[in-house]
Structure 1
């Protein structure tokens, strides 16, 4: 196939692809990666592990990952940290989400892939395999080894079945296990931290760890306060083991806030000690296996908070809703720079409270600087049952003038529930030394350094603004009108490619005379065949026979590519068979019969049948059509 033909075919294919999938202008999506790791892969049933999920992005907005269902673990959020850096105007961020996982059963457990959806794509981590062993297995093994070297002692007296049943009957289901919930403050201020404590008490051994379902909350925000605590407590003269779970609550609005029941599902073990010498040992052994797997559920009583509004008296102008105890600081990454260069202003708010709700502080008026939007990062911990940490705000500043410039203090106000009053903090002023860079042919801007008599120099604007209201030129208007046509713009390209393809196909056929004769053999033979039919109708048999011979010669010469004057019928038939394996024997027989009739007609025209003469041209053309199909290239 000629190179030009291939090129045109590719051009037509490209036009079709553009029509089906037109290019769309899309905003560049930030590159994301997500990884997950645990601090251990083997732990005891009474232990816990830390799962850290790290998300990195080439942007400030880092989406939160989605944890899959973890039926083998109780899951608690233990905090998060965020690191954002700005390099040459590009923002890079890394967010770490930490979770505390407590196993519920002994055996192999899997943490499935953790997913994250961003920009229409789904990212995921690898699965993590965890092995959970019985609690205190190492200590139990050591105890068994110690017992093996001790002398055999007398077996203690066995408890009778009646004694065991009497002890079980002494404990009702409510006394066997129950849940208590309490709050540290029932009348907090809006956004003040209140600790919710949920304790699950049990007086009997359990099969595995219980499954905890946190209460439903209305009007409050919640943060987990891991880890899970355990201990013992005597209630009404009976010893109980307990597991304690804490959460930090923050009232979202003033008024009543409801805390629903906390629920726990557990599987108690019965007949914990069965003596093999007891007469009903097998009956009690199998009964224990069946009854030990029965699940029960217990729940705490609902609670309510009466959230107080923040006082209006004494509220500072800089107050934006922060409640707790905080401090504020500021810094810059460079203190000396040239005109046209940028610096990062970093403002950090640290303390205890609901850091997620802290809004960016309002920056003071800085006429000597161009100020860009802020990006935020959060580092939160939960030590000592307090939500605490820091929130960092970063922005880019570009000086408009040279000299000794001052960044004024940034103010921050918060409400402290411990003394029911507002407090104001502010950063220290920062001095920036700006020297003049390369001069630019732009309007000059003058700025004062803040010191009387200090020298003031000029510098050019580092950013040229785009005029959005500038009238469009006629050419721009036409181009926008063409662009609005969308896919219709590809129609001329497709038509051009199709026309070029047709021309190339025709030219390629014209350049190959043998191929051209092969393709036009039937149409060339139709003309003399039609003339023969007219001759036969006029009674001119000899002329009609000559016309049919010309039609046969024209067709076979075009198909076989050779003169037929010196070829016999058998040679023609062999060439047809060699030309294509699709030529059937029936077609060869029809050609042989028609050839014999034509020879008889040429040499003995007076013996021809008139009815047969009228049918002969049609039979010949029908034979040619059959050969066309079987010799098709």
Structure 2
């Protein structure tokens, strides 16, 4: 009997996994393999109170590739999505006796704007599940699954009535802090206050504050409302604004500058929150001090140009003397250069006189005439007396030019140069000079020297 029962049950046992195989092939995942949960941290908030909606994905096996198919719809609710993380972590969890992994895929900040039943619906997620149960780069054979999140419903409660006249519209538990930029200012100068609102509640829009200022200090009027810088950390928020005050009265002031009236969901009452007190000292206004006029310095009298004590009058003669000395030095150097040049030229043109042999004629002949050598020496001495320093080193042309500069006429100059030429011929020509020629040279030399001595 047991054998017959076993064979009867065998086809049934083989047929049990068949539906799963067909679902995988047809692209339909097994039931309960992928689903989403919608969770509210407060399902019954007050109007204006911030709550958080979390969408959690449950899956088994390999993690699917997911993307948003449609965004949630939320009429009557202000919503803001929290920035998603780059990597979605998953944790194991048991659900209805089965083992799953769960991961948060989306979070929204919600603020009901009206009372009543307010649903959040329509969020759908597209997932790609690997067909073989293992992730691969090729997703063409993955099973596409569209998962719809269940509706999350807010049962918003209306705020108690009547609301205080100074109610700002803020809902939450907040703290006010004020920090002045300076503790001492001069009358008429601006003073900046940094006001920070922090706590648990929605502060994306800074709530209006009640400003309480003592007499003598007023708030500076602004054409635009003060802006704020909001920040969000975990379940707390904060916003900072800047307020400018003007002090017109001198004195010391200690006061609480701002207050905020908000509805506190934790107590269910309207609460007025005061900031910390600040101390300000107002000094007298600064007056523009005009420096005393400077007395003009007496003008220094400038002496006339002709004054003997004037620096210019004293320096002009000195400059003239120095200039004359420089010119004289230059002229002297020039003359010295010319003299050396002429001496070197004469030494090249006129060779040194040969030493007379032992049989040379005497300085004076037997007839009483002077020798050519004696005549030349006497003639050179006479020329030196006229101002010609070195006649022996000059050529006939150079000697004639100098004599002309000394005022000697042309005829005597010709006679002098002719006599010197005759003397040179008598000294260096072979043979002895004739007595007649020597007599003529003596006579001409005597006449020339007599003429030169008269000058």
Q: State the TM-score, normalized to the length of structure 1.
A: 0.38
**Alignment-derived partner of residue 57 in structure 2:** 200
Match of 1:400 among 230, 248, 251: 248
1:267 and 2:128 aligned: yes
1:337 and 2:197 aligned: no
Distance 1:207 1:342, change over 3 A: same
Q: CA offsets, 1:77-114, max 9 Å, x none?
A: xxxxxxxxxxxxxxxxxxxxxxxxxxxxxxxxxxxxxx
1:257 and 2:118 aligned: yes
CA distance in 1, matches of 2:15, 2:132: 12
Match of 2:150 among 292, 295, 301: 301
Q: CA offsets, 1:474-511, max 9 Å, x none?
A: xxxxxxxxxxxxxxxxxxxxxxxxxxxxxxxxxxxxxx
Distance 1:195 1:229, change over 3 A: farther
- SS of residue paired to 2:32: helix
Q: Identify the range of structure 1 (372-381 vs 303-312) with the bigger mean alpha-carbon deviation.
A: 372-381
**Alignment-derived partner of residue 159 in structure 2:** 310
Distance 1:412 1:263, change over 3 A: same
Match of 1:231 among 85, 88, 91: 91
Q: Answer whether contact 1:200 1:264 (CA < 8 A) is retained.
A: no
Match of 1:291 among 141, 163, 184: 141
CA apart distance, 1:187: 2.0
CA apart distance, 1:365: 4.6
Q: Answer whether contact 2:48 2:113 (CA < 8 A) is retained.
A: yes
CA distance in 1, matches of 2:115, 2:205: 16
Q: Answer whether contact 1:409 1:429 (CA < 8 A) is retained.
A: yes
- SS of residue paired to 1:190: coil
Match of 1:240 among 80, 86, 100: 100
Gaps in structure 1 of 5+ consecutive residues: 1-160, 275-284, 441-633
Distance 1:194 1:212, change over 3 A: farther
- SS of residue paired to 2:227: strand
**Alignment-derived partner of residue 135 in structure 1:** none
CA distance in 2, matches of 1:335, 1:232: 58
- SS of residue paired to 2:207: coil
CA apart distance, 1:166: 6.1
CA distance in 2, matches of 1:398, 1:426: 21
**Alignment-derived partner of residue 215 in structure 1:** 72
**Alignment-derived partner of residue 401 in structure 2:** none
Distance 1:273 1:316, change over 3 A: closer
Instruction: Number of aligned residue pairs: give it.
Output: 264
**Alignment-derived partner of residue 47 in structure 2:** 190
**Rg larger in structure:** 2
Distance 1:257 1:229, change over 3 A: farther
CA distance in 2, matches of 1:428, 1:324: 19
1:377 and 2:228 aligned: yes
CA distance in 2, matches of 1:215, 1:229: 23
CA apart distance, 1:353: 0.5
CA distance in 2, matches of 1:212, 1:333: 51
1:356 and 2:211 aligned: no
CA distance in 2, matches of 1:382, 1:173: 40
Cα-Cα RMSD: 3.2
CA distance in 2, matches of 1:404, 1:382: 38
Match of 1:390 among 238, 255, 260: 238
1:323 and 2:171 aligned: yes
CA apart distance, 1:389: 2.5
CA apart distance, 1:439: 4.0
CA distance in 2, matches of 1:331, 1:407: 12
CA distance in 2, matches of 1:164, 1:380: 55
CA distance in 2, matches of 1:345, 1:222: 32
CA distance in 2, matches of 1:202, 1:210: 15
- SS of residue paired to 2:170: strand
**Alignment-derived partner of residue 435 in structure 2:** none
CA distance in 1, matches of 2:90, 2:22: 27
CA apart distance, 1:180: 2.0
CA apart distance, 1:238: 2.6
- SS of residue paired to 1:428: coil
CA apart distance, 1:363: 0.9
- SS of residue paired to 1:215: coil
Q: Answer whether contact 1:232 1:241 (CA < 8 A) is retained.
A: yes
Q: CA offsets, 1:565-608, max 9 Å, x none?
A: xxxxxxxxxxxxxxxxxxxxxxxxxxxxxxxxxxxxxxxxxxxx
Gaps in structure 2 of 5+ consecutive residues: 1-13, 289-455
Distance 1:169 1:233, change over 3 A: farther
- SS of residue paired to 2:171: strand
Q: CA offsets, 1:120-170, max 9 Å, x none?
A: xxxxxxxxxxxxxxxxxxxxxxxxxxxxxxxxxxxxxxxxx9998665458
CA distance in 2, matches of 1:212, 1:378: 33
- SS of residue paired to 2:146: strand
- SS of residue paired to 1:295: strand
Q: Answer whether contact 2:171 2:262 (CA < 8 A) is retained.
A: yes
CA apart distance, 1:411: 1.7
CA apart distance, 1:370: 3.7
Distance 1:166 1:271, change over 3 A: farther
CA distance in 2, matches of 1:165, 1:433: 88
Match of 1:436 among 260, 280, 284: 284
CA distance in 2, matches of 1:217, 1:422: 27
- SS of residue paired to 1:217: coil
Q: Answer whether contact 1:210 1:267 (CA < 8 A) is retained.
A: no
Distance 1:426 1:190, change over 3 A: same
CA apart distance, 1:265: 0.5
CA distance in 2, matches of 1:207, 1:260: 23
CA apart distance, 1:263: 0.9
Q: Answer whether contact 1:371 1:397 (CA < 8 A) is retained.
A: yes
- SS of residue paired to 2:119: strand
- SS of residue paired to 2:161: coil
CA distance in 2, matches of 1:352, 1:207: 36
**Aligned residue runs from structure 1 range 559-574, under 5 A:** none
CA apart distance, 1:421: 1.7
